[in-house]
Structure 1
Amino acid sequence: MNSQPQLLHARTALYPRDRRSAAVARDLTRITLADWGLTRRSDDVLLCVGEIATNALLHGVPPGRCFQLALTLATDGVLRVEVHDSGSGEIHPARPSPDVERGRGLLLVQALADDWGIRERDPGKVVWCEFRACVPS
């Protein structure tokens, strides 16, 4: 018997290297959460999508390339958000000084999501986060 949860829903989209793409990715996420009947923790999910997408745009998407947003909901109620980019470089939560206005995105993801991480892909990387108990309402 397979103990792995099955996928209930999945949605993906590609976004160009454009300053508006993070907002559009948030909009698709908002629509997807509503379509899937997920209202619990939607503000946390939307904030994390915005932060991860913005990081991809600023640090991970080379000129002429796109990033991919993937949203999945499993039968165990875990919502997974992934942002795939084709850029090089490692990322990790920074410890910005109090007088710096930037650099807190992954710290927010770390605080709001139940789990998160980074994995390599060729080319680039995937930044992901998960939210448990996002059972449809």
Structure 2
Amino acid sequence: MLLSRQRRFPRARRSVSAARGFALETLDEWGYQDRQDDVRLCVSELATNALLHGAPPGREFSLTLVGDGPLVRVEVRDSGGGRPQMMDPEADDCGGRGLHLVMALADDFGVTPHPPGKTVWAVFKMDPAEVKGCNGNG
């Protein structure tokens, strides 16, 4: 069964922690126990990027989670221009590592452009034994 849930967040610092909380609450309600730390970190990075680089002042960004059997897709959409750029930060730089973390943790990652803005997404393969309903035990 395909599951989907979306929430919009204002362009404010508190929205990053609210997005993490929304993602974890959703995963718990859907019975996805596996890889919550990976999803939480990626949501944090993608929401931070939307906040800092994607959502223009006065606008929002949205977070959508889609559960499809053993797959969870995280989508962060904003109305800003441009595409996320992979950075090569120096060792003492305070930022620039977020997309590297997302690429390392997610099983798939990409950007879908649309007017206006874009959706940055990541897919996570969950252990079917840890997902309610995927192994006949849910």
Normalised by the length of structure 2, the TM-score is 0.90
Deviations 1:21-42 (A, max 9, x none): 0110000011111101111000
Deviations 1:28-85 (A, max 9, x none): 011111101111000000000000000000000001110010000013x110000000
Q: After TM superposition, give the deviation of residue 134 of structure 1 in Å.
A: 4.8
Partner of 2:82, secondary structure, is coil
Alpha-carbon contact 1:79-1:134 (below 8 Å) kept: no
Kindly tell me the number of residue pairs found equivalent between the two proteins: 130
Alignment of 1:35-50 (within 5 A): 35-50=29-44
Aligned-residue CA RMSD (Å): 1.1
Q: Percent identity?
A: 49
Deviations 1:74-132 (A, max 9, x none): 13x11000000000112122111111011100000000000001110110011000001
Structure 1 residues 93 and 134 mapped into 2: Cα distance closer, same or farther (>3 Å)? farther
Structure 2: unaligned runs, 5 residues or longer: 133-138
Task: Give every structure 1 segment of 4 or more consecutive aligned residues whose post-TM-superposition deviation is greater than 3 Å.
Answer: none
Normalised by the length of structure 1, the TM-score is 0.91
Partner of 1:127, secondary structure, is strand
Q: Distance in 2 between matches of 1:125 and 1:134?
A: 29
Q: Distance in 2 between matches of 1:78 and 1:112?
A: 14
Alignment of 1:62-101 (within 5 A): 62-75=56-69, 77-101=70-94
Q: Distance in 2 between matches of 1:16 and 1:46?
A: 19
